[in-house]
Amino acid sequence: MLDQKDLKCLIEIIDEGGFEAGAKVLNLTTGAVSQRIRRLESMVGMQLVVRGRPPHLTETGEQIMSFARRIWLLQNEMDRSIALDRDPRATIPVAVNHDSLACWFLEAVKSFTKEVGLFVDVKTSNSEETHELFVAGHVLATVTSNPKPVPGCKVRYIGTIQYMAVCSQDFAATYFPSGVDANSLRNAPAVYYDRQDSVSSPLLKAYGLNPNNVQRHYLPGTAELYRATAIGMGWSTMPVPYLEMHSNAPQFITLQPASIPVKLYWKTWDMTSKEIATLDSHVVQTAKRLLVDS
């Protein structure tokens, strides 16, 4: 049987980004932490951690990490329920796509923490890669556009974010003086979140294009994309709720009349945890209130 304290070492060195930092949190020496990881690896019979700056998990390490987080969630939940010494650093790690974080997810976190008194540790990326963070054991729940089920997890559709392709009025006058067509889209710079950002693909496909035909900036953040679009760095696909939050800002020009829908799913591990169930309830209720149901 794997030792829970050894599993806690695995969690801390990954979350803190190193053996020394993890040891400091655990009030252990770096040598003691290394010894515990070696003991885990000996028990499993496979390497779990690739030593580096920062260290990262092997495929087997990701599987172990997923179980380790669930074990320690339940351990901390038990301690809180019977008033034992609780870990003040305990959080629930959650992966959330950046647009959900900017538009609605914080409302769910606020109401969850108010009810339970527990905090969350949010990892953010695009809506596809949040699924990978979940599979790799870095988080216990995720908001993602990937509906693919994972063995041992629950998947629930929670709503749709609508996106509009927009640009500033000056940008439109420069790059789309006669309207939007394939040639103007080739020449007009775009602003993307990262290389995996595919939200604009339906628009480009309608003109026989794909993202590789478009000049692009990469700016990993909803606020940064909005600001870049507002000052005319390029056109972008922005979530409609975010545009509505900034309704007093200068008006954008839309590149097409129809919005682009992106369906979102909430994934959690299938486990008996009142705290995860409560978080699940707040996320679903908030999404139902603030997202489009399609």
Q: How many Å apart are CA 96 and CA 100, to the nearest integer?
A: 7
Please report which confidence band the pLDDT of residue 294 belongs to, taking 50, 70 and 90 as the band edges: low
> Which helix (DSSP H) or strand (DSSP E) does residue 124 occupy?
strand 119-125
Q: What is the DSSP letter of 137?
A: T
pLDDT digits (tens, 9 = 90+) for 152-161: 899 999 999 9
> DSSP letters of 45-101?
TS--EE-SSS-EE-HHHHHHHHHHHHHHHHHHHHHHHTT----TT-EEEEEEEHHHI
CA distances, 253 to each of 154, 176, 232 (Å): 40, 10, 11
Torsion of CA 175, 189, 145, 289, to 10 degrees: -50
Percent of the chain surpassing pLDDT 70: 97
- Given a contact cutoff of 8 angstroms between Cβ atoms, the answer to whether 110 and 227 are in contact is no
- The answer to whether residue 88 scores a pLDDT higher than 80 is no
Q: Is the dihedral of CA 25, 27, 31, 35 positive or negative?
A: negative
Query: Is the predicted pLDDT of residue 262 greater than 90, yes or no?
Result: yes
DSSP letter (8 states) at residue 105? I
CB 98 within 8 A of CB 137: no
List the structure tokens of 281.
């309830």
- Name all domains of the chain by residue range, CATH numbers in brackets: 1-88 (1.10.10.10), 161-257 (3.40.190.10)
Burial of 219 (0-12, 13-18, 19+ CB in 10 A): buried
Q: What whole-number distance in Å separates Cα of residue 200 and Cα of residue 237?
A: 6
Q: What is the pLDDT of residues 177-212, one digit of tens each?
A: 999 999 999 999 999 999 889 999 999 999 999 989
Q: Are 84 and 112 a contacting pair, CB within 8 Å?
A: no
Please report the beta strands in 138-288, taking only residues with DSSP state E, as ranges in sequence order: 141-144, 153-167, 190-192, 216-218, 236-239, 253-254, 260-269
